[in-house]
Amino acid sequence: MAHGMSQRFKTIALVLGSGLVGSLLTGTAFAQMQDNMVNARTSINQGISYLQAAQSDKGGHRTNAINLAHQAVREINLGIGYANRH
């Protein structure tokens, strides 16, 4: 009987330990995903600054690039918000 109880406790400990490790790894992956999103947003915002400082509009392409970059930042923000809620 004592051996059976000991084996059950080992099994329970293994399951709980596996769940804990899985949770930690998932949390790390989540944090890295958010870091990547935040870093991308920062880079795009820097690009917007460079575009705004550029001379002339290059046939409307500079303005289009700025608008698309702003759209990308909005999408990144939506993605970060979605990930935070799920």
Q: What's residue 80's pLDDT?
A: 94
Confidence of residue 34 (pLDDT cuts 50, 70, 90): confident
| CA distance linking residue 23 with residue 11, whole number of Å | 18
Q: pTM of this prediction?
A: 0.62
CA 80, chain centre distance (Å)? 6
Task: Please answer whether residues 70 and 48 qualify as being in contact, where contact means their C-beta atoms are separated by less than 8 angstroms.
Answer: yes
28 pLDDT above the threshold of 60: no
19 pLDDT above the threshold of 80: no
Q: What is the pLDDT of residues 47-78, one digit of tens each?
A: 999 999 999 989 999 999 999 999 999 999 99
Query: What is the 8-class DSSP label of residue 57?
Result: -
